[in-house]
Amino acid sequence: MNLLVTGGCGFIGSNFIRQRLSEKGSALTKLVNLDVLTYAGNPANLADLAGDSRYVFAHGDIGDPVLVAKLLADHAIDAVVNFAAESHVDRSIDSPEPFIQTNVTGTLRLLNAAKQYWAKLPEPKKAAFRFLHVSTDEVYGSLVPGAPAFTENHNFEPNSPYAASKAASDHLVRAYQHTYGLPTLTTNCSNNYGPYHFPEKLIPLMILNALEGKNLPVYGDGMQIRDWLYVEDHARAIWLVLKQGRTGETYNIGGWNEKPNIEIVKTICALLGKKAPRADGKTYESQITYVTDRPGHDRRYAIDAAKINRELGWKPLETFATGIEKTVDWYLKNRAWAADITSKKYSRERLGTKV
């Protein structure tokens, strides 16, 4: 398989690429990574792949139809996995337009290029071609405590500009399958965590702020509930859907780990207290501060991942306890990676949380 991955220098994309190229007996002949390298796209995430002859990096935008068409043709692409997206809720509240440009217009142009390429493929390559779109549980809106988790049939009720832009892109992917027959797949995931997570997100922000002696800002009462999915489990699920999923279908991917944000923060504090205790003997929990809640903050997300388990046999390998310990250990060992981002790519005063 020759695979085009978009947004592969970001958090989830880079973990997916590394997993695919490190797997023994991988079916990949070539993996082309198209990334425009916005603030969250970091080539250092994949620096260890520089010597892999199967890996090709292309600097560019999914909204550039000429470039995308050239990559598809030049590398005889068999499948596209679209990770490229603006994904930070706080940023979308401050400035919605970039989210529309990337997540909606960019996805539309990528779909157009893929459709034109696919239409000219000979059989059986045409029948085997796939376009997999990676999306989020936030398209479904918010759940009250005790309500059933989101299934693939849940109505879209996005509550932030980010979520609305992703919902629009999901609808476009569905429309291209229904109208043109383009063989598409969509995945909607819960909150990811793990190595290479950009420092503005909740878990890495709390780890790094704690180690630097800064406040640990928690929105509102901290009782917003999220389902947490270890990124390597997510990457495995995407690959499985790409290979075995039914075209035109959506698959929800979740970690079966519903937890309130304040519990996540306290778990991180406890782990750091064991692995890297403060020199002054105080607890990391003493750094927790409660800040004004985000406008329109969704109270609860929860994914019902029964469909992917039933149809494809997938389930997460990591519990939250094992996954969060691996994550804390990774950040303790990779302080230089995080320091490089916060000092060179993203001003410290803008660091916030996406929860």
Find residue 57's DSSP bridge partners.
33
Cα 277 versus chain centre, distance: 31
Nearest 5°: the CA angle 242, 62, 303 is 45
Query: 340 catalytic, yes or no?
Result: no
Report the pLDDT averaged over residues 326-334: 97
Does residue 31 lie within any of the structural domains?
A: yes
Report the pLDDT averaged over residues 1-8: 97
Instruction: Give kind and range of the element (H or E) at residue 34.
Output: strand 30-35
What was the pLDDT predicted at 342?
75
pLDDT tens by residue, 260-272: 999 999 999 999 9
pLDDT tens by residue, 215-259: 999 999 999 999 999 999 999 999 999 999 999 999 999 999 999
Query: 140 catalytic, yes or no?
Result: no
23 vs 142: which has the higher pLDDT: 142
Does residue 84 lie within any of the structural domains?
A: yes
Does residue 14 lie within any of the structural domains?
A: yes
Report the pLDDT averaged over residues 161-166: 96
- Which pair of tokens denotes residue 332? 């303790």
* Cβ atoms within 10 Å of 262's Cβ, excluding its own: 17
**128: CB partners within 8 A, 6+ apart:** 78
pLDDT tens by residue, 192-201: 999 999 988 9
Does residue 212 lie within any of the structural domains?
A: no
Strand ranges in 110-255 using DSSP code E only, listed in sequence order = 130-136, 184-189, 191-193, 216-219, 225-230, 250-253
Does residue 161 lie within any of the structural domains?
A: yes
Find residue 4's DSSP bridge partners.
32, 80
How many domains does the chain fold into?
A: 1
- Candidate list 61, 78, 138, 200, residue with the active-site label: 138
Identity of residue 144: V
- Candidate list 162, 176, 219, 251, residue with the active-site label: 162
Query: 137 catalytic, yes or no?
Result: yes
Put the strands of the sheet holding 225-230 in their side by side order: 191-193, 225-230, 258-260
pLDDT tens by residue, 32-84: 999 999 888 899 999 989 889 999 999 999 999 999 999 999 999 999 999 99
- Which pair of tokens denotes residue 138? 């936030």
Residue 113: CATH number of its domain: 3.40.50.720
